[in-house]
Structure 1
């Protein structure tokens, strides 16, 4: 089985780099939050920032691996905490915890905004070049932040729930959107993808794209996920291809040459 460490090693640390991954405490309206920041301390000066939003299990080893991979690519990456410090639900309670935020989208958006504010507070972040991305629950949250009109150059969803809004607020989106979804994801079926795309089509100038991976279920990019009976299973091919799509997207929106950040 592919492990989180296996995926981490697909992006090697550059020679001479000093990548540090450190916990960061911050808060939102009195709620203590605990995220994780990764960047290369061997590099000085502002660079693009990437905000990473966790899946329904909260900030964990997977988030740490992804922010590390992004730091190795040359970005400042911050894994934000939507739930609150100490709230890291297991499989038995994750749906309930995540569901409370799906039922309160303003709170979800506000918590992600708090993470964005914390990322931008880092002196090494170029405020004009920031992207938000997330996995499952985090993919939904990333797109919800974009809907607020947040000053972002991009938003990326890995097998996130695609929430169509009526009335629509898609016209407020300023970011380019990349949606990476599974071809056999029962959590995000074709009808849901279609409804979301129809909402985006109603805003002619909006830049968005959807990439669908054949045979991929929900959570296809979260290593060690193995619950096909519940429609969720890691798929190495979809994970690899979706990460390549992310790298190309970041290079485009940040105005950099791919792999030479």
Structure 2
């Protein structure tokens, strides 16, 4: 397995992503962009990229906040996230640059690109689909489902997979219902899975400890994580093969 850190620039600012692929196989393969939580580009998102590489994809865990910008508490995480969200056009620009890097890699078929994100990253991935970027698929793990982007029928090119917790206080039932209505009205092909009793951040093994430490409603669920991962792998297999 090959992996490397890649430093790149967007509007003069430094970002550092992580690329992983199986170098024991030849030929071009689908590429998957991996978008981190509000904690920033850290070991968790790199491990997820490694898992995708082991499954036969070239994965690029991009950086949305800037080189070295990580948080270990909710206040700093919120500040990093809001700084990215409030900079006009920054999210799309940073995503497009990462997508360009992935598409240009020797191992990647540039026509077969997907994106998957976690929490903040899940919301980013869904919004890139809403903007009509040329993605074949998008997977959101416990990402926010509401958006200010107005989706017109036919504008979303990607097929969507959404995994959310049924007891996620940050993504309440009304938000889930509004998302379903939005996507149905826009004629989007999507699937949404809700796990009963499961809270926010369920794919990250660090979620429970963080929730307890900071008094926020996060919790890891091994069962939900495994099911969501297997569902995503089945989705990619159907999408790309």
State the TM-score, normalized to the length of structure 2: 0.93
Kept in 2, the 8 Å contact 1:33–1:85? The answer is: yes
Matching residue within 219, 226, 229 for 1:233:
219
User: Could you list the per-position Cα deviations for residues 58-100 of structure 1 after superposition, in whole angstroms to 9, with x for gaps in the alignment?
Assistant: 1111011111101101110000001111211221300121123
List runs of 5+ in structure 2 lacking aligned partners.
none
Kept in 2, the 8 Å contact 1:147–1:173? The answer is: yes
Task: Work out whether 1:38 is the aligned partner of 2:20.
Answer: yes
What is the aligned length? 236
- Displacement of 1:144 in angstroms is 1.2
Please state whether the residue corresponding to 1:172 is helix, strand or coil: coil
> Once superposed, what is the RMSD of the aligned Cα atoms?
1.5
Matching residue within 106, 113, 116 for 1:130:
113
Please state whether the residue corresponding to 2:121 is helix, strand or coil: helix
- 1:187 matched residue in structure 2: 170
CA distance in 1, matches of 2:238, 2:166: 25
CA distance in 1, matches of 2:144, 2:87: 15
Matching residue within 174, 178, 197 for 1:215:
197
CA distance in 2, matches of 1:25, 1:104: 21
- Displacement of 1:30 in angstroms is 1.1
- 1:24 matched residue in structure 2: 6
- Displacement of 1:102 in angstroms is 3.7
More deviation, 235-244/220-229: 220-229
Matching residue within 121, 137, 147 for 1:164:
147
- Displacement of 1:103 in angstroms is 3.9
CA distance in 2, matches of 1:242, 1:85: 29
- 2:52 matched residue in structure 1: 70
Moved over 6 A (4+): none
- Within-5 A mapping of 1:90-105: 90-91=72-73, 92-104=75-87
Task: Work out whether 1:53 is the aligned partner of 2:40.
Answer: no
Please state whether the residue corresponding to 2:25 is helix, strand or coil: coil
- Judged with a 3 Å threshold, the aligned counterparts in structure 2 of structure 1 residues 169 and 35 are, in CA distance, closer, same or farther, namely farther
- 2:122 matched residue in structure 1: 139
Task: Work out whether 1:118 is the aligned partner of 2:101.
Answer: yes
State the TM-score, normalized to the length of structure 1: 0.86
Kept in 2, the 8 Å contact 1:147–1:170? The answer is: no
User: Could you list the per-position Cα deviations for residues 43-71 of structure 1 after superposition, in whole angstroms to 9, with x for gaps in the alignment?
Assistant: 11101111000001111110111111011
- Judged with a 3 Å threshold, the aligned counterparts in structure 2 of structure 1 residues 110 and 102 are, in CA distance, closer, same or farther, namely same
